Amino acid sequence: MRKLLAPAVSAAVAIFAVALMAGAGIQSNAKAAAGPDRVFAALKVKQRQARLRHARRWHRERVKPAAAIPPGVASALQSIAACESGGNPRAVGGGGTYRGKYQFTYSTWASVGGSGDPAAAPEAEQDRRAAMLYARDGRSQWPVCGR
């Protein structure tokens, strides 16, 4: 039984190694076949490059400049933030219910496209999401500080 399986296993390993080298962009030659470390090093480089591309794309999509907020809205939001949290983007109030610079609830944060914890989001993202909320609902979302 072992004699029958050994050639099949060897062939499968050889096919896997050739496929791995082809996927890594390495020519199938004796030197590459002799050095599997080259194959794995090439794969690590490709994985690192893919992670960097993903991180750059995520940053471009998530962190927009605060300059996109109109000046009138920016001054209103600045006074709201000063009243709600003292301008602290990491503030947590109401026993953990209200979070961030504008004291978002999780549901309000999600309604303007936010994900995760508002207090953990970058300040520029909090400003942008608050501007979206202000454009949608006006000052009504901040009944005390929005007067």
**What pLDDT is stored for residue 86 in this prediction?**
93
Q: Choose between 33 and 114: higher pLDDT.
A: 114
Tell me the one-letter amino acid at 12. Answer: A
**What pLDDT is stored for residue 27 in this prediction?**
52
Rounded to two decimals, what is the model's pTM?
0.54
User: pLDDT band for position 39 (50/70/90)?
Assistant: confident
Q: Rounded to whole angstroms, how far apart are CA atoms 103 and 23?
A: 49
Q: Rounded to whole angstroms, how far apart are CA atoms 30 and 65?
A: 53
**What pLDDT is stored for residue 102 in this prediction?**
94
Residue 8 has pLDDT above 70, yes or no: no
Task: Identify the sign of the CA torsion 33, 37, 40, 44.
Answer: negative
Nearest to 129, CA basis, from 71, 54, 63: 63
Average pLDDT, the chain: 79
